[in-house]
């Protein structure tokens, strides 16, 4: 469970770094399942397997959406139960699990995930209070692409565009933002970061020769329809 100081810090800074959300043993078991999913090409027939940063066939930032749909035991982990409890502490008891996803940065050529807000990908007609719990399946370091955050929760989504200005590329980048105050969050095995859906965040390229595996769980309050519509024109360009 989070302390009051951690809850206050989350709402002030938009993120938390947790040394332990589950055991190293559970993470090791999940790592084998995770690597199997990527090696078997799971999701390729259903658009659950995408590359966030390339459309040219070479995978530089491969992602599997909803891996627990393919391996139900991922939903039975201590990690899932602890993540659910943390999300409910931060967002309230009516918090719901939205989805999990897996992003694997290959060793040697895994590119950066540029600065963005997660909510920039979502329906602009809805009002969100949501968070993501980012769990590395090995140590996370600056060299392999640990999470970095810009402290603070912007009141709304700021303008984004597609990576390389190419609407065929799935990934989004914030247009213009000062990220000098970025905070990097290296983590041990079993650790996690938690971030709000409007917190700006980034991971660097993987400069090591082994994959950087991240497993992400998204939770939210049931979203309401916004009174004021927003225009996420960058989503129309796809
Ligand atoms: Ni993100």
Tell me the average confidence (pLDDT) per consecutive run of 10 residues in the chain, 238 residues long: 97 98 97 91 74 62 89 96 98 96 85 94 96 98 96 96 84 92 98 98 94 96 94 84
**76: CA distance to ligand 1 center in Å?**
24
Instruction: Write out the two tokens for 47.
Output: 């658009």
- List residues, by chain if needed, whose CB lies under 5 Å from ion ligand 1: 118
Residue 25 CB-half CA count within 13 A? 1
pLDDT at 107: 87
**118: CA distance to ligand 1 center in Å?**
5
pLDDT at 168: 76
**63: CA distance to ligand 1 center in Å?**
12
**116: CA distance to ligand 1 center in Å?**
6
146 contacts 139 by C-beta, under 8 angstroms = no
pLDDT at 106: 86
**Whole-angstrom distance, CA of residue 19 vs CA of residue 143:** 19
| Among 114, 106, 108, 116, CA closest to 60 | 106
**Whole-angstrom distance, CA of residue 39 vs CA of residue 12:** 40
**113: CA distance to ligand 1 center in Å?**
8
**119: CA distance to ligand 1 center in Å?**
8
**73: CA distance to ligand 1 center in Å?**
24
pLDDT at 150: 97
Q: How far is CA 174 from CA 74, 149, 151, in A?
A: 32, 13, 15
**Whole-angstrom distance, CA of residue 53 vs CA of residue 201:** 16
**201: CA distance to ligand 1 center in Å?**
6
Q: What angle do CA 19, 53, 48 make, to 5 degrees?
A: 80
**117: CA distance to ligand 1 center in Å?**
6
pLDDT at 58: 62
**172: CA distance to ligand 1 center in Å?**
9
**185: CA distance to ligand 1 center in Å?**
14
pLDDT at 15: 98
């Amino acid at each position: 469970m989070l302390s009051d100081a951690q809850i206050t810090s989350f709402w002030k800074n938009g993120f938390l770094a947790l040394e332990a959300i589950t055991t190293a043993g559970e993470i090791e078991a999940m790592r084998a399942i995770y690597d199997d999913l990527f090696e078997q090409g799971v999701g390729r027939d259903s658009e659950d397997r995408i590359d966030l940063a390339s459309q040219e066939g070479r995978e530089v930032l491969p992602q599997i959406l909803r891996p627990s749909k393919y391996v139900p035991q991922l939903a039975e982990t201590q990690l899932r139960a602890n993540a659910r409890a943390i999300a409910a502490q931060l967002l309230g008891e009516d918090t719901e699990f939205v989805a999990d996803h897996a992003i694997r940065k290959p060793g040697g050529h895994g590119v950066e995930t540029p600065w963005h807000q997660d909510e920039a990908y979502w329906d602009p007609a809805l009002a969100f209070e949501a968070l993501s719990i980012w769990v590395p399946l090995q140590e996370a370091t600056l060299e392999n692409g640990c999470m970095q955050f810009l402290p603070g929760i912007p009141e709304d989504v700021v303008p984004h565009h597609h990576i390389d200005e190419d609407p065929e590329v799935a990934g989004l980048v914030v247009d213009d933002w000062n990220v000098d105050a970025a905070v990097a969050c290296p983590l041990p095995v079993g650790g996690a970061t938690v971030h709000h859906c409007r917190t700006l965040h980034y991971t660097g390229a993987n400069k090591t020769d082994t994959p950087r595996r991240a497993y992400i769980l998204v939770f939210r309050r049931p979203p309401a329809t916004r009174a004021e519509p927003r225009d996420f024109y960058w989503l129309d360009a796809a």
